[in-house]
Amino acid sequence: MKTNVYFLFITILFYQCQTSDSTNSETKEVQSYTIDQFLDNDNIYAGSFSHDEQTLLAGSNETGIYNAFKIDLETGERTALTTSEDESVWINSYFPTDNRFLYSSDNAGDEIDHLFVRFEDGTVKELTPDEGAKASFAGWSDDLKSFYYMYNKRDNRFMDMYEMNIDNFNSTLIYQNDESLNVGGMSNDKRYLALTKTINTNDSDLFLFDRQTKEMTKINETLSGNSPADFSVDSKALYYLTDAGDEFTYLMKYDIVSGEREKVVSEDWDIMYAYFSKNGKYQVVGINQDAKTVVKVMDTKSGKQIDFPELPDGDISSVRISRSENKMVFSAGSSRSSSNLYYYNIETKKLKQLTNTLNPEINPDDLVEAEVVRYPSFDGLDIPAIFYKPHIASSNNKVPALIWVHGGPGGQSRTGYSSIIQYLVNSGYAVLAVNNRGSSGYGKTFYKLDDQNHGEGDLQDCIEGKNYLASLPYIDGEKIGIIGGSYGGYMVMRAMTHTPEEFNVGVNIFGVTNWIRTLRSIPPWWESFKEALYLEMGDPNTADSTRLYAISPVFHGDKVKHPVMVLQGATDPRVLQVESDEMVAAIKKNNVPVEYVLFEDEGHGFVKKENQIEGYSKVVQFLDKYMKVALKG
């Protein structure tokens, strides 16, 4: 499937257009909440178990920025381990035999991550200090005496693989990446490396590199999307994901000695990931099932799926299994419930909720359930989308609406909890999160439909989404806007310049507006898939620049007719600030209302709560100013 790393963007129910046509009796009064209240949730994620499996390393933004915490698995008590006020701390893992841990951090969102170790006494050591070099944690060795990491200090275009001893922190270069390959993992015996070569944004070749013989073996037999999943614990097999001969990605096993291939797991949806627990007792498989993650944990000896305990609210979205394979931590949530962490003792069957992340001031009954809907586009293609209908909406109380466009290209809107979407809906706006052609999760044919067609068919899908909304009796069809971030922000500006009469307002969140500049200025560490990106979008250094100019909104600011808001991070390495500066200037020159919110300490995505509060509150103020009608209770 298409590679999604280059533009950011993080139930099988089929609804016809009339499915969401609720009757007046279903409306109800709800309490109004501020963006401060919605963002006072605790966004928390699991890292790893401690060596004694008594505590869990976790990351949380409860302080307003992401920091590291430990959670006692018996008492649920949480203790802060870092107290950063400026840069987010992104946890990697506890050390295998003590309570040191690894984390990553960049500079104000510039994405040049460095690795750090936090010692048990609270002191910190930077492990990858080279200025301008980017590092990422790549897992522990099987003997637990070292860890692997990727680092581009030798050449900032290529991520080499290193091994670092955890006693003295000495490093060894173990794979020099001179061919723009992507390193996908090391076997437990340290003999084999899984590598991929990006062919285009849909397809990639998978290789097995024998470090002993220096032989490189190509695993896939046909042009297809391929990526490594995990090695077997005995290092005799490589498990990998492929869509060869199929619409959806499935799991394959490659026997390293015999070269035989065997299909292991397939679904009617994409398999997103698969991995083994430490000793291979369990295999965890994640499935992208119609915009929702479904997790299956298989007992490898019996081949049977283990039963998860019943949860009062939410679906399991990720799983961590301890090294002893006796304990499990998982995340679970829903569109009306922010994700919580649960601790499950596999032996005793004891379940404990570790967190309660939703702000207690918010009544979950005031939030809305995400609905998976589908509507026909201009050419008859069914477009999947996630719909959020305000409780107050009815044919007697029509509400304004927004088309929400995800990032990418190739991202996907999903049914999990979103503070900003719930805030918009609580503020009286229906939201339709469109998974336009080119989105992931709906088969590779659907995924390829936007190639060299960006801002055309995918934009028409959004316009047909607007028409779908306008057909609903409780939507004010004269007041529909469009909002999106990254590639979604591009779609906003493309709509406002190319089809200026379609949407009443546009909210562009760090969106691309000049494809020629963006494609020429991509970060050097994207070298491994730059050519693939050019194949999909167009090469800005060739005649493709003519089309790229035509679809770049900044050159067509004179076409904008309706109000626009732009939000941007000053340190964004993907969409440079100058893009938004110039777009805003072009709209102002046309004497159209435009509001600009610039954060000096944010990159591609706003992670600091104070900035999120400021930015999203201004979004609703902007929408209210130009779209709000008098809403009846």
Going from N- to C-terminal start, the domains of the chain cover 17-35+362-627, 44-177
Task: State the Cα–Cα distance between residues 554 and 541, nearest whole angstrom.
Answer: 19
Bond into 573 cis (ω within 30): no
pLDDT at 535: 86
Cα-Cα-Cα-Cα dihedral sign, residues 52, 53, 56, 57: positive
Residue 191 pLDDT exceeds 90: yes
pLDDT at 581: 97
Residue 621 pLDDT exceeds 50: yes
**Residue 419 confidence class, pLDDT cut points 50, 70, 90:** very high
Please write the tens of the pLDDT for every residue from 427-468: 999 999 999 999 999 999 999 999 888 999 999 999 999 999
**Residue 24 confidence class, pLDDT cut points 50, 70, 90:** very low
**Residue 226 confidence class, pLDDT cut points 50, 70, 90:** very high
φ and ψ of 94, to 5 deg: -65, 155
Residue 7 pLDDT exceeds 60: no
| pLDDT cut 90: percent of the chain above it | 87
Residue 633 pLDDT exceeds 50: no
Task: State the Cα–Cα distance between residues 71 and 332, nearest whole angstrom.
Answer: 17
Q: What is the mean pLDDT of residues 307-317?
A: 80
pLDDT at 81: 98
Please write the tens of the pLDDT for every residue from 435-445: 999 999 999 99
Which of 195-204, 303-312, 383-392 comes out lowest in average pLDDT? 303-312
Report the interhelical angle of 609-627 vs 419-426 (nearest 10°).
30
Compute the mean pLDDT over every residue in the chain, rounded to the nearest whole number: 92
Give which of 418, 620, 592 is closest to 507, Cα–Cα: 620
Q: 44-177 adopts what CATH topology?
A: Neuraminidase (2.120.10)
Q: How far is CA 176 from CA 123, 180, 212, 261, in A?
A: 32, 10, 15, 28
The amino acid that residue 544 corresponds to is D
The amino acid that residue 161 corresponds to is M
Same-fold call for 17-35+362-627 versus 44-177: no
Please write the tens of the pLDDT for every residue from 93-145: 999 999 999 999 999 899 999 999 999 999 999 999 999 999 999 999 999 99
Q: How many CA atoms lie within 13 A of 84 on its CB side?
A: 25
pLDDT at 629: 52
Q: Would the pTM of this model clear 0.85, i.e. be above it?
A: yes
Task: State the Cα–Cα distance between residues 78 and 283, nearest whole angstrom.
Answer: 29
Please write the tens of the pLDDT for every residue from 56-72: 999 999 999 999 999 99
Task: State the Cα–Cα distance between residues 452 and 578, nearest whole angstrom.
Answer: 25
Cα-Cα-Cα-Cα dihedral sign, residues 392, 396, 399, 405: positive
Which are the contacts of 179, defined by CB distance < 8 A and separation ≥ 6?
197
Asked if 568 and 599 touch (Cβ cutoff 8 Å), the reply is yes
Give which of 233, 445, 187 is closest to 325, Cα–Cα: 233
Give which of 192, 397, 188 is closest to 280, Cα–Cα: 188
Asked if 266 and 418 touch (Cβ cutoff 8 Å), the reply is no
Structure tokens at 609: 């709560």
The CATH class given to the 17-35+362-627 domain equals: alpha beta
pLDDT at 631: 38
